[in-house]
């Protein structure tokens, strides 16, 4: 079970990091859109 548990933990952390990166990039995209719209 130990390897499975560790793998699950790493997977969770990896997904968390990817999600954060996605949110960061998404926020930047939204900012760019707003800047473009305001001219």
Q: What was the pLDDT predicted at 15?
A: 94
**What average pLDDT does the segment 1-8 reach?**
89
Residues in the chain: 39
Q: What was the pLDDT predicted at 17?
A: 94
Q: What was the pLDDT predicted at 39?
A: 60
Q: What was the pLDDT predicted at 36?
A: 82
Q: Per residue in 7-38, pLDDT tens?
A: 999 999 999 999 999 999 988 888 888 878 87
**Alpha helix stretches (DSSP H) within the chain:** 2-38
What is the gyration radius of the CA atoms in the chain, in angstroms?
Answer: 17
Q: What was the pLDDT predicted at 16?
A: 94
CA–CA separation, 19 and 6 (whole Å) = 20
Q: What was the pLDDT predicted at 37?
A: 82
CA–CA separation, 13 and 6 (whole Å) = 11
């Amino acid at each position: 079970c130990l390897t499975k548990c560790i793998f699950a933990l790493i997977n969770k952390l990896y997904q968390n990091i990817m999600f954060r990166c996605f949110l960061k990039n998404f926020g930047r995209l939204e900012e760019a859109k707003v800047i473009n719209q305001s001219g």
